Amino acid sequence: MFFVERLRNRFKKIEAENKKIKAEIKELNEKHEALLGINDELALDMMYKYHELLPKERYEETMERRLLRRIGYKADVKEPKTLNEKIQWLKFNDNIPEKARLTDKLAVREWVREKLGDEYLKKIYGPWDNFDEIDMESLPEPFILKPNHGSAMTMIVKNKNEMDKDDARQKVNKWLTTNYAYYGLEMQYEYIKPKVFAEDYYGDKGKDFFEYKIHCFNGKVNSISTATRENNVATSATIYYPDWEVAPFKTKQYPIKPVEKPAALPELIRTAEILCRDFKFVRVDIYVMKDNSIKFGEMTFTPTNGEELWDPPEYDRKLGDILQI
């Protein structure tokens, strides 16, 4: 009996030690993830500063080296053949002032109003020049804050009373002091005057509304991409031709998972071709809302900064052959 009791106590001690070790491992993993985040942020800041100081005549050679690192082949921006190369060429040789105006998420609204009508625009609040100007009392719940001059910068606020205003102020004011052009030399962003504005929060993409990314070549719809999502995070992305046939290529990041053809497909194509008519290449993002109304999203002239990993890889060249510049 004494031996059994000693063994039981020993197991309890081992169990307690294991629990302690697991807690320490969890803490170390959290610290590691935090350090990785800091490292990524520092690398991004260093690249931003390098591009900010870079002479314009070195932009093309810099992007050629960057594409070698990111997509694995030596790009030729001066004599482009692949789609990625042609997007780079357009960045530096077709950067007309109109692109800057239509990249600006606020200025583009007047253009869309002229082309399509006010009913295609989502309601906005603002704009404001800094966080402290934002009239929080006037905003609905929930809402989204975003700047007019960049990409992947959004803040969803579901409850104003639970909002960490100091953290939000720091984030928004950093947006407003950043020239997004210098992250990837997407020069259509260079002269946009930064503002912050708010929109109603419509819920989760793929559940409460649907987003269609429509790639247009030489004034015509070439393909349409839409994603399936879980908890508002993309789990697949499928590319379709305008007749909704699944294309034989995809982006490397996501698997294919076909979805039903949208009833609004003819209107999506009509809308996109009105907006893309005067441009060699642009991606038009359009939303189909819960009430089946269509809302304009944005005009993107350099999707993924012309650094897409196509699967199979030969479609980078095949798509490039279609795009005439």
Domain layout of the chain by residue ranges:
1-53, 63-93+203-325, 104-201
Is the confidence at residue 36, as pLDDT, over 70?
Answer: no
Residue 139 has what pLDDT? 94
Task: Report the Cα 195 to chain-centroid distance in Å.
Answer: 18
Q: Measured over all CA atoms, what is the biggest interatomic distance in the chain, rounded to whole angstroms? A: 89
Q: Which pLDDT score is estimated for 197?
A: 97
151 pLDDT exceeds 60?
yes
C-alpha–C-alpha distance, residues 180 and 52, integer Å: 10
* Exposure class string for 134-158: b at 16+ Cβ within 10 A, else e: beeeebeeebbbbbbbbbebebebe
What does the radius of gyration of the chain's CA atoms come to, in whole angstroms?
24
74-107 burial by CB neighbour count: b if 16+ within 10 A, else e? ebebeebebbbbbbbbbbeeebeeebbbbbbbbb
At 290 the pLDDT is 87
| Per-chain mean pLDDT for the chain | 91
Burial environment of residue 122 by CB neighbours within 10 A (0 to 12, 13 to 18, 19 or more)? middle
Query: Do residues 209 and 289 lie in contact, with contact meaning Cβ atoms separated by under 8 Å?
Result: yes
* Distance, CA of 10 to CA of 223 (rounded, Å): 65
> In whole angstroms, how far apart are CA 228 and each of 133, 200, 231, 246?
37, 22, 10, 15
Q: Label residue 255 exposed, middle or buried (CB < 10 Å: 0-12, 13-18, 19+).
A: exposed
pLDDT of residue 37: 59
Question: What amino acid is encoded at 109 in this protein?
Answer: R
Read off the pLDDT of residues 58-72 as tens digits, 9 standing for 90 and up. Answer: 999 999 999 999 999
Highest mean pLDDT among 5-14, 250-259, 273-282, 288-297: 273-282
Mean pLDDT of 149-170: 92
H or E stretch at 111: helix 107-115
pLDDT band of residue 40 (cuts 50, 70, 90) is low
Q: Is 108 left (phi over 0), alpha (psi -120 to 50) or beta?
A: alpha
**Across 6-10, 126-130, 311-315, least confident range:** 6-10
Query: Which of 258, 265, 296 is CA-nearest to residue 113?
Result: 296
pLDDT class of 207 with cuts at 50, 70, 90: confident
| Residue 67 DSSP symbol | H
- Alpha-carbon gap, residue 252 to 49, rounded angstroms: 29
- The predicted model gives 142-149 an average pLDDT of 96
What gap in Å lies between CA 172 and CA 45, rounded to an integer? 17
At 189-205, the pLDDT tens digits run: 999 999 999 999 998 88
Split at pLDDT 50, 70, 90, the class of 18 is confident
